[in-house]
Structure 1
Amino acid sequence: MKRIGLFIMAIGLLSMAACTSTKLTSSWKTPDARLQEEKKIMVIALVPAKERTLRVQMESNLVSELRKEGYNAVSAYATYGPDDELGKGDEKAALRKFRNSDVDQVMTIAMVDKSRERTFVPGYGGYPYYGGFWPYYRGWYGRMYDPGYYQVNTKYQWDTNLYDLKEKKLIYNAQTDSVDPPTAYRQAYLFAKQIVKDMQKQQLIAKN
């Protein structure tokens, strides 16, 4: 019985892991754009005020990953605190705040959508198998007594932009989706890994 219980628990954990995902959906950069280690990059997450914990995690994890690669990245929240102008989601207002400062580039992480999706999960047995009596019976019995269920997933969509303030232009953009992140930290951690990996792939930053 103990082994059966552990087996069921393992299946449950695998199912949760399967539902949770963070993936890059698109990205691009301007030709020949390269980050320079001496340039200061301000990272700011543009999220609703009630998502402050998520904002802090998104900024700090991306800053950490960029610093690991040798770049001078800083968090807007850690620098300015919970400034209303930065946290209210007004990207243009946030960029104006960095003008005439020692910041060379700004990386914004904007939450463009947060939605809940209801999907159907088939029960045990799936579709009947017509190769013999027993597989058919087992499939029918499983569907009859375990018909499936509906689950609700939370999906986040993020739009990431990297601006060069001196040249006054956008040099990098990436869009990502996160489904059912278990915690704000986990979502931010996986997001930062994805972005830095893509920046390396795009040759915006060099691989260490």
Structure 2
Amino acid sequence: MKKSGLFIMAICLLSMAACKSTRLTSSWKTPNAKLQPDKKIMVVALVPKQERKLRILMEDNLVSELKKEGYNAVSAFATYGPDNAMSGKDDEKAALQKYRNSDVAQVMTVAMVDKSRQRNYVPGYGYPYYGMPYYRGWYGGMYGPGYYQVNIRYQWEANLYDLNEKKLLYNAESDSVDPPTAYRQAYLYARQIVKDLQKQQLIAKS
């Protein structure tokens, strides 16, 4: 195996780890529930006030992904502006009450359940190679001691409510560890949620 091959392998492993930084941990839906493309879906991100940028990105990306599938989704922040912004999971009931007497049929709330710092041990790494003493001195440098790293972990919960039937249609929980940017986190989260909505047959596959 050449040096370039080992280098490419290392890059691939790092890329795979990055792809897993945002993952869906559980999801559930009401049996036989389906969304109609013509009914308005209000997307509300419930996050601390100091995370306004992340709130806007979470709403905008979910709205964008739902619209790509042909659904009538709108952002609460874009519709009502910062003066009527909500924050925190405790405001979920208030959000439902706010839109109950409007033309909104469903409300999707996305709540930041937790944001925490975690200290994890990363063991030593290496790429064992057999039968080629020529490379022994080089690949030996690929091994290293273990170390500790601090990760930022976000926990998210999405709930989709039907206001007319007054019931929960869908719930999903997700983890996001060390997202590179707020935009990337919001984009990957939106893609995951819409893909799961399709898997759960709440919305049709395009």
Q: Is the 8 A contact 1:85 1:94 kept in 2?
A: no
C-alpha deviations, 1:52-80, integer Å up to 9, x for none? Answer: 11100100000000001100000000001
Structure 2 residues without counterparts, runs of 5 or longer: none
Matches within 5 A, 1:54-133: 54-84=54-84, 86-89=86-89, 90-124=91-125
Tell me how far apart the structure 2 counterparts of residues 22 and 62 of structure 1 sit (CA, whole Å): 15
The residue type paired with residue 159 of structure 1 is E
C-alpha deviations, 1:4-45, integer Å up to 9, x for none? Answer: 8xx879947953761551111111111111100110000000
Tell me how far apart the structure 2 counterparts of residues 150 and 74 of structure 1 sit (CA, whole Å): 42
Q: Is the 8 A contact 2:77 2:85 kept in 1?
A: no
**What residue number does 2:49 align with?**
49
Q: Is the 8 A contact 1:85 1:93 kept in 2?
A: no
Tell me how far apart the structure 2 counterparts of residues 201 and 13 of structure 1 sit (CA, whole Å): 28
Tell me how far apart the structure 1 counterparts of residues 8 and 93 of structure 2 sit (CA, whole Å): 48
**What residue number does 1:172 align with?**
170
Shift of 1:82: 1.4
Quote the sequence identity (%).
70
Shift of 1:48: 0.4
Q: Is the 8 A contact 1:42 1:106 kept in 2?
A: yes
**What residue number does 1:15 align with?**
14
Do residues 33 (structure 1) and 33 (structure 2) align? yes
Shift of 1:96: 1.2
C-alpha RMSD of matched pairs (Å): 3.0
Q: Is the 8 A contact 2:88 2:112 kept in 1?
A: no
- Structure-2-length-normalised TM-score: 0.83
- Structure-1-length-normalised TM-score: 0.82
Tell me how far apart the structure 1 counterparts of residues 73 and 42 of structure 2 sit (CA, whole Å): 6
The residue type paired with residue 150 of structure 2 is V
